[in-house]
Structure 1
Amino acid sequence: MFLNSSVIFSRNKLIRYDIIVLITSIMLEFVAFAQEFLGKFAFLPGSTLGLARPQSLTGSYLHYPIILVLLGFILIQCYASEKRIIYGIFGIISFVMCILSFSRSAAFILLGGLCVLILTGIYKVIKTKRIKLKNFYMSLMFIAIVLAFFYCNQNSIYVARIFSALNANSEGNTQRIVIWQNAITLFKNTNIFIGSYTGMFTNSTANFGGQSTVAESGLLQQLLNFGLLGALLYYLLFIRIKRNINKNHVWLKVALIASILESFIYQSIEVLPFMAILCILPLTSDYLNDARNRKRRRIKIVWR
């Protein structure tokens, strides 16, 4: 995380992040759609819960949607930067597939990111006391579309699944809340500065034959394992990543912020591809910025 948020590699400008993300998204979406609606690819590893929740090529129905939603944000940013409609189309498809996967974690990142985007826009208007009518009308249209979607589909099982995240008694939430309460109690009775349960609250230890448990929260996991000091240093790395994303690449920034917030209620920091995508956001931003500069240079050469 430190290297990828602090060092810009000269060879990075040769890596086509846009094409890589696009192809990866298409592959994940194709396999997931075939699993969920056509009953195909059921032999792939990872439980599908009766094909109701696809795992696609990731090996886990929990990992697939939170990976795809980040790829969707990157594609939308590629569309905003390069103005290629194919990125916008598959970015929206990625978001739709996340909703269809019944994943509340992915929905949290998606809706949380959109809320951060709206709040950021409001803050800029208040700060500058200026408003771009085009952006204002587009924002209003976007909000209207989202509200209309939820209103027209309020009886849909997909929408009900998303809103069930707000119900403490819904499936999965009851157990999760109990785990959070136990984790907080343990944290209060331990060394709050450096932690006392290093290696015990993680999925990784069990993979090597040891015994471990989960905190169902990335923040609580870090607090129990490494205390306040370790958790603070860990999340400072996320802030470091944010500072190295181009200020104009707002979709990448909101994806990172929403992912940080989501890690408070889900142990997503142990999902390796999810973390890897977050780590390369600055490199992706650098590539998109350089691609835009190359385009400008080509335009100048043509006009000369």
Structure 2
Amino acid sequence: MVTVASLEQLGLIVMPGSSYSEYGAARPASITGSYLHYPLIIVMISIFLYSWKKKVDFVVVVGFLAPFIAFSRSGMVLVVVSCFFIFFHGGGVKKMIFLLVAILFSCFFFMVENPFSQRFMSIFDFSEAANNSRIYLWVQGIYQYANSPVFFGGYFGEVTNLTANFTESDPYVVESGVLQLLLNFGLLGLILVFWMYFSFYPHVGRSEKAFIIAFFIQSFVYQSIEVVPLILGLFLFLSVSRSIKYNSESI
């Protein structure tokens, strides 16, 4: 996935589903068919590789850097939040090494002016056009949910990109997985969906726990619930992680 994405960014190949950033560089879709899906999936895979290998190696580092190079703010959020919780779940020498690497990377990333750090910092720029539109959609979504049935929602099948694929109507999105679930399925639907993932929490390693938390936090500000490869892949990887943990404990 990273190799194909790198070839795209070098301009050597063109893949369907890619886009271009405001800096003129490609936002690659790699083999996922979507420039929005690729960075999230590569972070998920890297987190689980890190957990299973019990070490940070070249492949894991490349996977963590991929969202930054792909100008994906949602992917950057996943990396930063995951690493934050992995750090506080760790201890001893590993924790100090992790902190040192994070400090060195942060110094390089933010002190040297580059489009990647500018893209990351735009997350906090409320005057930025994309952020303005997102905030408007969030406020509108909250207002609609406040005036609909709290437990069951009042917009089943309406707040989604999917219906536009089958009809000629324009999609209605709220740019928030949490709000989307509340509007379509209500509070009960929201609880059931995230319970499916948090039910794994006591049974997996600290890296997987960190990613579950990151996935949940990111869902407040990004419609990640519609990234089907991500939500299915996460369920699959958590199931595998649980099996690995129990098998290792029984040996």
Say whether the fold is shared (TM-score over 0.5): yes
Shift of 1:135: 3.1
Q: Structure 1: which 5+ runs fail to align?
A: 1-27, 122-130, 298-304
Q: 2:37 pairs with 56, 63, 66, which one?
A: 63
Return the TM-score normalized by structure 2.
0.90
Q: Which residue of 1 aligns with 2:12?
A: 40
Q: Which residue of 2 aligns with 1:30?
A: 3
Q: Which residue of 2 aligns with 1:20?
A: none
Shift of 1:288: 3.8
SS at match of 1:109: helix
Deviations 1:152-203 (A, max 9, x none): 33x1110110011011112411111111111111111111221110000011
Shift of 1:144: 2.4
Q: Which residue of 1 aligns with 2:150?
A: 192
**RCO greater where, 1 or 2, for CA within 8 Å and sep 6 or more?**
1
Deviations 1:45-99 (A, max 9, x none): 213226521111111111111111111111211220xx6xxx7210101111211
Q: Which residue of 2 aligns with 1:227?
A: 186
Find the aligned partners of 2:60 and 2:74 in 1 and give their Cα distance: 18
Q: Which residue of 2 aligns with 1:10?
A: none
Alpha-carbon contact 1:35-1:54 (below 8 Å) kept? yes
Alpha-carbon contact 1:35-1:51 (below 8 Å) kept? no
Alpha-carbon contact 2:67-2:75 (below 8 Å) kept? yes
SS at match of 2:44: helix
* Count of residue pairs brought into register by the alignment: 247
Find the aligned partners of 1:196 and 1:209 in 2 and give their Cα distance: 20
Find the aligned partners of 1:234 and 1:290 in 2 and give their Cα distance: 24
Q: Which residue of 2 aligns with 1:240?
A: 199
SS at match of 1:105: helix
Q: 1:206 pairs with 134, 156, 164, which one?
A: 164
Matched, 1:254 2:210: yes
Q: 1:279 pairs with 223, 235, 251, which one?
A: 235
Q: What stretches of structure 1 move > 4 A for 4+ residues in a row?
A: 290-294
SS at match of 2:200: helix
How large is the RMSD of aligned CA atoms in angstroms? 2.2
Q: Which residue of 1 aligns with 2:133?
A: 175
Structure 1 vs Structure 2: percent identity of aligned residues? Answer: 32
SS at match of 2:26: coil
SS at match of 2:126: coil
